[in-house]
Amino acid sequence: MSVAGHLEELKKKHQTLSVQVEQAQRSPGTDDLEIATLKKQKLKLKEEISRLSS
């Protein structure tokens, strides 16, 4: 897989996590730990995207 392809895949995963975080925050029964875990995963992807883009 090329770097550009890998970058696109990471961006898709990042967007998916964004949606999951938004849904989890709107749902009153969602555990704060679960939301924090999703946010950490999202941040790691963002850092990887940023690193590969440089």
Mean pLDDT of 2-6: 90
**Residue 9: per-residue pLDDT:** 96
Mean pLDDT of 4-26: 95
Q: Which domain covers residue 10, as residue numbers?
A: 3-53
**Residue 42: per-residue pLDDT:** 97
How many domains does the chain fold into?
Answer: 1
Residues 34-52 have pLDDT tens digits of: 999 999 999 999 999 999 9
**Residue 54: per-residue pLDDT:** 87
Q: What does pTM read for this prediction?
A: 0.86
Do the Cβ atoms of 28 and 7 come closer than 8 Å? no
**Residue 32: per-residue pLDDT:** 93
